[in-house]
Structure 1
Amino acid sequence: MKKILITDGMDINAVNNLMEMGYDVEQRFYDEEELKEKIKNIDVIVVRSATKIRENIIDEAAKTGRLKLIIRGGVGLDNIDVEYARNRGIVVRNTPFASANAVAELVLCEMLVLARNVKIANLKLGEGIWDKKNLKGSEINGKTLGLVGFGNIARALADKAHKLGMDIIYTDIVRCEEKEDIFKFATFEEILKNADYITVHTPLTADTKYMFNENCFDMMKDTAFFINCARGGIVEENDLLRAIDAGSIAGAALDCFENEPLPLRELITNPKVTVTPHIGASTEEAQARIAEEIVTIIEDYFQINNVVGGVM
């Protein structure tokens, strides 16, 4: 019987489906030292962001050669040493489509919160201050949305924002030729200089580490907003904080941080910064879709390798 370890939780219906298919499923988080031992005796590991699969863990798995499949329930793979695992003969997969709508909706939500000064209004009302006259916001209709990276999430967001009357510009290594009439390709610098809202949709890599820094924020409009629901390390957070405090940009919304779960205190308490604790994919619907996709990945893998129902 093939053994599956789910370390960071998964939809219970999908877990039950796997067990009904004949897989031995364990749901439990292991710290690094415990995981080094556990990894030797499982066939599949399913993780989210809490569990890190680094070279030392992969080396332990290679001692028995039993681990065949690592699945990241989500889009980003920065918590897995992907190439190292693949070089060891371990397949690495993620679920790039299942959470796209959920994340896109959160980004749109953050844009509206920034546009209408919702956080500042909440803070003032909580202090007993009725400051209606100083809380005049703006509308996103007619504004320019700049997307850095144009994958599944960004395209879902672009569709929604366009329907709300926004102009869409984007940059990516691949152009979106099928919708060039409504989504306009631009350089990174053009987005920084022209967008009213800039959102990030790139993975965290050596090339994207701190790609948003002091120079970038200096190029943005002083009325522009910055939104990051991708990965924290893409942004130099101290530079962002200085830009907001100096009035170089109007504000920011962040769902991810370089240091999770203890982000920079000065950033998360700034009244011009809206923050959430990495909840982009945290909807009931998205989690169900992610789990369904994971079940499909597992079943397809073992069927291809002549294993039916988890049993050789």
Structure 2
Amino acid sequence: MSAPQSMPNGRRNSVSASDPPQFIPIPVNPRGVPQSSYGPTSPTLSTSPRNTFSVSPGSHTRQRSLSSLATPGVARQLTAFLPADYPLAEEEDGPGDKRQGKQRILLLENINLDAAEYLKKAGFEVDHVTKAYSEEELVAKLPAYDAVGIRSKTKITAKVIDACPKLLVIGCFCIGTNQVDLLKAAQRGVAVFNSPFSNSRSVAELVIAEIISLSRQLLDRSSEMRAGIWNKLSKGCWEIRGKTLGIVGYGHIGSQLSVLAEAFGMSVIYYDVIPLMPLGSARQVDSLQELLNRADFVTLHVPEIPDTIGMMGAAEFAHMKKGSYFINNARGKVVDLDALASALESGHLAGAAVDVYPKEPGANGPGFNDNLGPFIPRLRQIPNLILTPHIGGSTEEAQRAIGSEVSTALSRYLDVGTTLGAVNFPEVDLRAITTQDERHIRVCHVHKNEPGVLKRVNNILADHNIEKQFSDSKGDIAYLMADISDVGEEEVENIYKQISAASSNILTRLLY
């Protein structure tokens, strides 16, 4: 079928829904946007394209192919000015050249290998370690790296951050960030990224599996069979249909769990500190005590913050219905495990599932014993209790998704300065510098949030045209990104020195 013909008045003929056109002409660039930022020749031009590259004064430059420069409109590769006092392991450039090196990333705790490969292909040097590092190991080894990726066992403390002057960014390949001193990191200009959504489905599915397993005492029957005991019984075994699930924390995991539970015929109530719109037929209750009084199954999905540490103790377990079940896949410190053991031993609770603990081993293998807490021997003797080694998000799908999200965030921050998704920084971004912007530099300036900073910076940049600029603050920390044009290479060092000399300066990177 040919394209619909236009009428004399310029309007197209109407088209029947039963006889749709096979071709509709689409006007090309109707607004006259320059080719450098429009059209099929610039597919990488998002606000922070992955194909732009940069290095900071606190990191090293990678050598990469410049073949993309032949294509008009694609994002231009960036390098960075490194000040003379920047600690390089070795000088890689000749006399008179800009100091350059290679950016190094340390990935701990067996982070998904796809993430490591992605970062290697992006030009970084990546060291992949399967275990967590102690504070002493981090202080000894991390100073050689520009970025680090961790999961939940590695603790990045203020001592570690102070010992690592090169460190630019921390990637938490998990939901939580309580294992990092976020305030100290921000004060030192270290951005922190995490993956708040990627393993939500995996955790929600584990909770459903635990609810069914507890209600049918599956682990006890399985253990008995392995011991050669045939124990077919129905006493104390229930269907979950018609039961009430109480969700504490109705965020990304809690809301997904809500939908899954209703599909199994459960009634869902939830408690959260802020009013949240329910999914399906779930209902929000006014207090934690009300939820504990009504629910047959109680599951926690809250972060570890001062308000949640120890939120489930002896008094809270006493409020739960007799014969109900308790599940914690959130954080270990939010539950008093001695109190949980007592509630199970007395028969007040019919069962429980625990996936997280106040202290956890740093590596797989033997060691899950009373060194991690006096409650461990008690828990190991209690029937209908599921103990798992923090596997809530441990699925291939979740780890691939987390690896993709966090590794991309690390690369984009190091390469082009964007802080979208940072948990301790203002979220700032600028569109790409293109191949036609050959005399442009990007200023990435982390500074104290105090009056007069933008005025001082703009005065320094006054001899150049500020093409685009974005600044935002978060608490005492502010972050400015600015692209300026008509800058000679010989001017970069002087611009850096002037900006970084201010008392408000935390970290300055010039990408050019």
Same fold by TM-score greater than 0.5:
yes
Residues 1:183 and 2:295 aligned together = no
* Residue number in structure 1 paired with 2:144: 41
How far, CA to CA, are the matches of 2:407 and 2:357 in structure 1? 30
Given that 2:107 and 2:116 are in contact with CA atoms closer than 8 Å, whether structure 1 keeps it comes out as: no
Q: Are 1:119 and 1:272, in contact at CA under 8 Å, matched by a contact in 2?
A: yes
> In the TM superposition, what is the alpha-carbon distance from 1:183 to its structure 2 partner?
1.9
Given that residues 134 and 155 in structure 2 are in contact (C-alpha distance below 8 angstroms), is that contact kept between their aligned partners in structure 1?
no
3-state SS of 2:349 partner: coil
2:185 aligns with 85
Partner Cα separation in structure 2 for residue 40 and residue 108 of structure 1 = 43
Aligned residue for 2:407?
295
How far, CA to CA, are the matches of 1:130 and 1:42 in structure 2? Answer: 57
Q: Which residue of 2 aligns with 1:13?
A: 114
Distance 2:228 2:123 in 1: 59
**How much has 1:135 moved relative to structure 2?**
4.8
Q: Which residue in 2 is equivalent to 1:218?
A: 318
- Corresponding letter in the other structure for 2:228: G
> Which protein is richer in helix relative to its size?
1
1:91 maps to amino acid: A
Q: How far is the alpha carbon of 1:91 from its aligned partner?
A: 0.9
**What amino acid maps onto 2:149 in structure 1?**
V
Deviations 1:235-263 (A, max 9, x none): 11111111111121111011112232335
Indicate conservation of the 8 Å contact 2:255/2:278, yes or no: no
Q: Is the 8 A contact 1:124 1:130 kept in 2?
A: yes
Distance 2:235 2:219 in 1: 10
Distance in 1 of aligned mates of 2:227 and 2:118: 50
Query: What does the per-residue CA deviation read over 1:36-82, in whole Å, with 9 as the maximum and x for residues that have no partner?
Result: 13322322110012211011101112xx2x21111111011221111
- Greater Rg over alpha carbons, structure: 2
**Rounded Cα–Cα distance in structure 2 between residues aligned with 1:296 and 1:253:** 34
For 2:268 and 2:391, the matched residues in 1 are separated by: 25
TM-score scaled by length of structure 1: 0.92
Contact 2:171–2:407 (Cα < 8 Å) also in 1: no
Aligned to 1:133, what secondary structure does the other structure show? coil
Alignment partner, residue 192 of structure 1? 292
- Structure 2 residue matching 1:159: 3-state secondary structure: helix
Which stretch shows the higher mean deviation, 108-117 or 11-20? 11-20
Which of the residues 145, 158, 163 maps onto 1:55?
158
CA distance in 2, matches of 1:293, 1:71: 10
Q: Displacement, 1:174?
A: 2.5
Distance 1:220 1:78 in 2: 28
Q: Does 1:131 align with 2:243?
A: no
Aligned residue pairs: how many? Answer: 305
Cα distance change of structure 1 residues 218 and 136 upon mapping to structure 2, 3 Å threshold = closer
Residue 134 of structure 1 deviates from its aligned partner by 5.0
Matched ranges for 1:1-312 at <5 A: 1-28=102-129, 29=131, 30-61=133-164, 64=165, 66-133=166-233, 135=235, 137-177=237-277, 179=279, 182-186=281-285, 187-261=287-361, 262=368, 263=372, 264-305=376-417
What is the alpha-carbon distance in structure 2 between the residues aligned to residue 124 and residue 25 of structure 1? 46
TM-score with structure 2 length normalisation?
0.57
Q: Is the CA contact (8 Å cut-off) linking 1:69 and 1:90 kept in structure 2?
A: yes
Distance across 2 between alignment mates of 1:154 and 1:268: 28
Partners of 2:206 and 2:294 lie apart in 1 by 23
Equivalent residue of 2:233, what SS?
A: helix
SS at match of 2:163: helix
Q: Percent of aligned positions with the same letter in both sequences?
A: 35
RMSD (CA atoms)? 1.9
Unaligned runs of 5+ in 1: none
CA distance in 1, matches of 2:236, 2:322: 17
Residue pair 1:121, 1:135 contacting (<8 A) in 2 also = no
CA distance in 1, matches of 2:214, 2:281: 24
Shift of 1:302: 2.6
Q: Which runs of 5+ in 2 are unaligned?
A: 1-101, 362-367, 418-441, 445-510
Structure 1 residues 185-210: Cα deviation after superposition (integer angstroms, max 9, x where no partner):
11211111000100000112222111
Give the letter aligned to residue 123 of structure 2.
Answer: G
* 3-state SS, counterpart of residue 52 of structure 1: coil
Deviation at 1:21, TM superposition (A): 1.0
Deviation digits for residues 74-121 of structure 1 (CA, Å, limit 9, x no counterpart): 011221111221122211111111111111111111111001111221
Deviating runs (4+, > 3 A) in structure 1?
none
Q: Deviations over 1:275-309 (max 9, x none)?
A: 111111111111111111112211221343259xx
Residue range with higher mean Cα deviation, 99-108 or 201-210: 201-210
